Amino acid sequence: MGITNSNKQISTDQIDCNGTLRITLALSAAPDIASNPADIVLVLDRSGSMTGTPLANMKTGADTFIDIIDEATDGSQDGTIGSGSRIGIVSFSDTATADTQLITSVAALKSAVSGLNAGGSTNHADAFTKAVQLFDPASSNARVIVMFTDGKTTSGVPPAPVAAAARASGIIIYCIGLIGDDGIDISVLNDWATDPDASHVAVTPDDAELEDLFADLAANISKPGATDIVIDETVNPDFRITSMIPPTKGTAMMVSNTALQWKISELGVSANEGATLEFYVEHIGQSTGTKPVNASILYTDSEGNSVTFPDPSVSVDCGIVVDPEPCPVPVKLTVEGCHDSLVTDLGDVYLESPGRIVQLDVTVKNVCPHKRVALAVILTEVDSYGEEHQRGLKTITVPAHNSSGCRDILVKCIKFILPEDLNVSVPYPTGICSPRNLKVRVFAHNIDTDFRCCEKTVTV
């Protein structure tokens, strides 16, 4: 069957600026369907939430799946599932229906798919039960269930025990999920599917991708198990790899702090088999936003399997940061060849006496949306008699934010320069090593307000 599924999952969809993620790469593979026939039951959701394009795209995906298996079993799309393999159709809403038995007629299978109509609730337990009933216990064929659904269970008994009993009997379960109007719990799909969970579950938020998901699964089911697998993963530069758990199969190594390589000598050559690799990444960027986790991921094997992995993104919240005084732009220099010295003109710079730079951060609390803030910072130095001497005043306009509620705003890097010839903290300063005693006062208020004076215009 080749690579039957490939997946990439992240442990959470939202982190703070310096947060970490667990990433799971997963593969599953099985022997060639032409020499290892399989009985496959497509279990298709026709509940009310599938109305419209989701149902249409699911039908297209199911038809494509049937065509690929047709060609894979006997080398041509001749309208008959060959080499001893069979496909059956089960659909479900309030209850499940066996729309066909396990058959080889492509026309009959597609006719059953075409006749599906959406409506009703979602009974996954009955769907699994009807699918299991189609299999012949006396058959030596591999038994596979492909469950497609777009929502949570809303009727019937809990489906997890039914799925668990099916797996215990040797049935391989794959789940394709569409994040529909009712939402979908990926952990539930993982619970239903054959282990390892990540390699037997594929989920999309876009029903237009359903045909691709069905096609990828069918194409991989029809190929032999894979050998000499190499996966090269490179993460987004905004992240760095911090640690890696040894894979369940094969070996993995970190190539750099943003790249790793996973090698598997063989997978699924003699039986259905899965493998996973888990590693952790830390966000090291400075900006807020939704960011893809990986920059690239490349797959190769000796069989030429075409394998793609999902490209998950995570929402990164670095808070609201105002940086009113960026660092000076550096002057770039290059020392050529074997030269051991360099003479260059750095241009103009304002003369400053020796001294200190004081850099301050302050958080303005509970700033409401759409209001600018005026911020003042006053720095003084205290002499040995307790008298204060002015050392600077900074006034800053903090831009308005557009969050849904009041937020704390961090104002960073407020800089004051303290020339050493102004040092009054000790009676007899001894250069820049002398301590300096400072006081800081901070004021803030809203610039924007909805207050208006009660002015009146009188016409006589």
DSSP calls for 187-225:
HHHHHHSPSSGGGGEEEES-GGGHHHHHHHHHHHHTSPP
State both tokens at 301.
């094997």
Q: Break the chain into its structural domains and give their ranges.
A: 9-24+224-314, 32-223, 352-446
Supply the pTM of this predicted model.
Answer: 0.51
- Interval 186-217: pLDDT, tens: 899 999 999 877 668 889 989 999 999 998 88
32-223 and 9-24+224-314 share a CATH fold: no
Predicted confidence at residue 259, as pLDDT, reads 97
Predicted confidence at residue 351, as pLDDT, reads 55
- Interval 332-362: pLDDT, tens: 888 887 878 888 888 876 655 578 899 999 9
Q: What is the mean pLDDT of the chain?
A: 89
- Topology at the third CATH level for domain 9-24+224-314: Immunoglobulin-like (2.60.40)
* Backbone φ, ψ for residue 133 (5° rounding): -65, -20
Pairwise pLDDT comparison (52 vs 326), residue with the higher score = 52
- Quick one: which of 6, 344, 422 has its CA closest to 201? 6
Question: Cα dist. 416→133, 390, 438, 444 in Å?
Answer: 78, 12, 11, 18
Lowest mean per-residue pLDDT among 88-97, 114-123, 124-133, 280-289 = 280-289
Q: Are 377 and 441 in contact (CB under 8 A)?
A: yes
Predicted confidence at residue 108, as pLDDT, reads 97
CATH of region 32-223, choose from 3.40.50.620, 3.40.50.410, 3.40.50.261, 3.40.50.2300: 3.40.50.410
Q: List the alpha helices (DSSP H) in 146-302.
A: 160-168, 186-192, 210-221
Long-range contacts, stretch 126-129, CB < 8 angstroms, 24+ apart: 126/92, 126/95, 126/96, 126/156, 127/43, 127/45, 127/90, 127/92, 127/96, 127/159, 128/43, 128/159, 128/162, 128/163, 128/166, 128/192, 129/96, 129/162
pLDDT at 181 over 90: no
Give the model's confidence band at 456: pLDDT under 50 very low, under 70 low, under 90 confident, else very high.
Answer: low
Predicted confidence at residue 192, as pLDDT, reads 95
* Cβ neighbours around 361 below 10 Å, total: 10
Give the model's confidence band at 443: pLDDT under 50 very low, under 70 low, under 90 confident, else very high.
Answer: very high
Separation CA 314–CA 20 (nearest Å) = 11
- Topology at the third CATH level for domain 352-446: Immunoglobulin-like (2.60.40)
Judged on CB neighbours under 10 Å (0-12, 13-18, 19+), 14 is exposed
Separation CA 85–CA 39 (nearest Å) = 6
pLDDT at 32 over 80: no
